[in-house]
Structures are given as C-alpha cells and as structure tokens.
C-alpha cells in the first residue's frame, strides 16, 4: 500500500498539504514526486503545510530538509507552514535545527511570504 501526497499547482507555486502521519516510504515518494512536479510545471515556489502533523522524528525532518535543498537546486523556494507547538518543541529538544528554512504560521501567510520572496 503506497499513499501519495497530493501536490496542487496554483499559478507559479505548488501547494502541498500533508494530511496524515508520514511513514518512511510515503515521505521518500513525496520527495521524488515534488521534484518531478517542479520540473513539469516550472514552479518557482512551494508551500508545504504540516498543520495536521502532530510529531516529526529525525527521519522525517531529514527528508523535509533534503527536499528543501533539492528544490532549491532546481530553482524553487520552499516555505514550511503550520508547525504545531508540540512539534516545534520536540524538534528542538530532539536536537534538530531546520536552519535557513523559510517558515510561516499558516498556509495563507506562507503563500504571502513566498510571493514576496519571488518578487524580490
């Protein structure tokens, strides 16, 4: 059974809403799918919304960090949105720093931030 995370296109951006707990294969599949979609659509920005996610372990954090770097190599900027308080606390306690990662409180703020970045 392989669940795939849907990736939506809105103008020159891609929107990803992660709706369920990420397991390893889904996360790795998502990495590939997102990069292919950036290639297909020539998207310049991506918002990944994690609002429903209630924990992130070091593996998922690594996959997320990697996909942000990979997207950047392809010329697309990524904003992470919707990190819950419990997730922020456990990530830092775990010792994970997602440095140089653009973040915003929610999808709306994330899209605004991305638009500003792309216009700059």
End-to-end alpha-carbon separation of the chain, Å?
A: 42
Q: How far apart are CA 9 and CA 116, in angstroms?
A: 18
Q: What are phi and psi of 18, to 5 degrees?
A: -80, 115
Binding residue for another protein (CB under 8 A) from 4, 85, 99, 120? 85
DSSP states of 42-78 as a string?
T-SEEEEE-TT-----HHHHHHHHHHHHHHHHTT-EE
- Rounded least distance, CB 86 to another protein, Å: 4
Choose the stretch contacting another protein; rule: CB under 8 A; options: 32-40, 57-65, 69-77, 109-117: 57-65
Binding residue for another protein (CB under 8 A) from 3, 8, 86, 105? 86
Q: Judged by CB under 8 A, does residue 100 bind another protein?
A: no
Q: Output the six-digit token pair for 80.
A: 């992470």
- Rounded least distance, CB 15 to another protein, Å: 25
Per-position x/- string for 3-22, each x denoting binding to another protein as judged by CB under 8 A, each - no binding:
------------------x-
């Amino acid at each position: 059974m392989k669940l795939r995370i849907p990736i939506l296109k809105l103008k020159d951006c891609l929107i990803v809403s992660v709706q369920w707990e990420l397991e390893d294969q889904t996360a790795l599949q998502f990495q590939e799918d997102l990069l292919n979609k950036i290639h297909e659509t020539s998207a310049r920005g991506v918002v990944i919304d994690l609002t429903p996610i209630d924990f992130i372990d070091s593996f998922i954090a690594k996959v997320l960090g990697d996909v942000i770097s990979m997207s950047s190599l392809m010329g697309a900027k990524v904003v992470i949105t919707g990190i819950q308080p419990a997730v922020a606390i456990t990530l830092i306690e775990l010792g994970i720093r997602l440095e140089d990662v653009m973040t915003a409180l929610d999808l709306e703020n994330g899209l605004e931030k991305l638009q500003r970045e792309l216009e700059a």
